[in-house]
Every structure is written in C-alpha cells, then in structure tokens.
Amino acid sequence: MRITNFIIALLITAMAGPALASMTTAEQIHSGAEQFLAAFSDAQGNEGFTVSYDTGQLDPRLSLATCETPLSVSFSGDPWKSTQPSLLVSCKGDRPWRMFLPVSITITGEAMVAARPLGRGERLTKAAIQSDSVVVNSIRRGAITNIEQLVGMEMRRGINAGTVFTPDLVLAPAAIERGDHVIISARSGNFSVNSRGKALASGGIGDQVLVENLSSSRTVRARVTAPGHVEIPM
C-alpha cells in the first residue's frame, strides 16, 4: 500500500556533554531524517518499489532547543508526486519548534504504459497496456500502477507508445448515450416502479442526466446506475 502521509516518531538521544545536552543539533536532526527515510524505503520495498534518497545538508552550527519528547518527522508534501519533497521535523515538547529539511527522493517501480500508439476515444484493452519500470514520483499527475484501473476506460487524447498512464489521460466510458432508450426506476426504499424513457444527454455511471419519460412526456433528472438504467428518488 502506498504511504503518502508517512510519519514516524524518532527518539534522538542527546549527545554526552553539558554543552550539547541543552540543544538539538544539526547532526541529530540529520540522523532523525535518515532513520525516517530508511523506514519509508523499507516499507515501500515490501510493496515492490525501490527508494533512493539524499537528505541534503544542514548548517552544522544549527542548534535548537532541547526536545524532551521524541522528534516527529514527516513528509510536508506527497513524495509520490515530487522527487524533491521536504521533511517537516518538529518538537512538541515544552519548548516546541519546527523546521523544514529539503530532501531528494526517487521511487522506482512498475507502472502502466501504452503498448502502442493510442487514439482519442479508443477503449483500452489489456493488449494496449503493458508495465514498465519508471521513476513513479517524477510523474506529477500520478502514475497508474494497476492495470485494472485502465481496462475498459477511454482515452481523452491520443498518446505515443511508452507514455505512462495518468488519471487525466483516461475517462470512464458513457454508460448511456444521448438518444438511448433507458429504463427509469423510481425508487423508495425496497419499492420501485419502472418506466421507459429516452436519455437527453450522455453520462457515465453515477452521473446525473436529463431523461424524457416516454409515458408522461415529462423531463426528469435521473442518476445513471448501469448501462441503459437510470434512477430517480420517489
């Protein structure tokens, strides 16, 4: 499972010596960040992803108030949509503080790509999709990693072979097209009455569309529940 809000409390042991016992040093913050990223890397490795990272540099002269509680480290942004998120390091003790530490991170894994050139409006089949190893978090719109999320969808625009699939490239096909004859279900609890109608607009499952009731010639707004079926509340 992806972890987009990955938070670990890290206990940073104060270094020996009276001068250092009253402050949190850059070295301790850097160590906490390393532990956090190592844990994140291990967690993603269990899901088939490879994570590499660089915590960058801190001014070695940095010193902050001693934290009497474990330091909290978390991503301040979504590491799945950026290769340069920041870490939020904070102390929630009697003398609280917070700071941001820039890091570089790459998450490599299998994502779905086009097996061949695809045209606008084309319905996707498994033969049109293949997996490839990509830097997942360099795809800012979010790479699709599950083929089942794509099969049966339609292309919003044409793409070349090898293009990584992202949610903005596909849309659910219309379950009802304008002019289709449909079954209108008027439902109240477990009781329903069906009538025949004609769709006045196209829509996918869950969309609201205008439908003409062919018996009464009334126009009603109904929710698409399945191909050829709409529902209105009673």
Domain-located, residue 140: yes
Environment class of residue 32 by beta-carbon count within 10 Å: exposed (0-12), middle (13-18) or buried (19+)?
Answer: buried
CATH of the domain at 163: 3.90.1210.10
Q: Which domain holds residue 192?
A: 181-233
Q: Which amino acid is at 76?
A: S
Number of separate domains in the chain? 3
Asked whether the beta carbons of 226 and 205 are under 8 A apart, the reply is yes
Three-state DSSP class for 57? coil
User: Is pLDDT of 12 > 60?
Assistant: no
Of 81, 102, 123, which residue is a domain's last?
A: 102
Asked whether the beta carbons of 129 and 145 are under 8 A apart, the reply is no
Q: In 5-104, which ranges are continuous DSSP H helix? A: 26-45
Whether residue 140 sits in one domain with residue 96:
no
Place of tokens 């609201």: 208
Instruction: Write out the two tokens for 176.
Output: 């009802």
Q: What is the pLDDT of residue 13?
A: 37
> Between 6 and 222, where is the model more confident?
222
Domain-located, residue 176: no
Asked whether the beta carbons of 43 and 2 are under 8 A apart, the reply is no
- Report the chain's mean pLDDT, rounded to a whole number: 85
- What mean pLDDT do residues 49-55 have? 93
Give φ, ψ of 7 to 5 degrees.
-125, 130
Q: What is the pLDDT of residue 69?
A: 79
For 74-108, what is each residue's pLDDT tens digit?
A: 999 889 889 999 999 998 878 889 889 889 999 99
* DSSP-derived secondary structure for 44-87: HHTTT-EEEEE-----TT-EEEPPSS-EEEEESS-TTS-SS-EE
Domain-located, residue 2: no
Whether residue 191 sits in one domain with residue 120:
no
Domain-located, residue 29: yes
Domain-located, residue 185: yes
Instruction: Write out the two tokens for 70.
Output: 């474990």
Instruction: Write out the two tokens for 103.
Output: 């890091």
Nearest CA among 109, 110, 91, 88 for reference residue 99: 88
Out of 67-71, 158-162, 181-185, least confident range:
67-71
Domain-located, residue 38: yes
Of 48, 81, 102, which residue is a domain's last?
A: 102
Whether residue 187 sits in one domain with residue 149:
no
Question: Containing H/E element for 72?
Answer: strand 71-75
Domain-located, residue 204: yes
Domain-located, residue 86: yes
Whether residue 139 sits in one domain with residue 66:
no
Instruction: Write out the two tokens for 167.
Output: 């949610």
Diameter of the chain measured on Cα atoms:
89
How far, in Å, are 13, 14, 96, 191 from residue 91 at the CA level? 14, 14, 5, 58
Whether residue 73 sits in one domain with residue 21:
yes
Compute the distance between CA of residue 102 and CA of residue 84 in angstroms, rounded to an integer.
7
Q: What is the pLDDT of residue 219?
A: 92
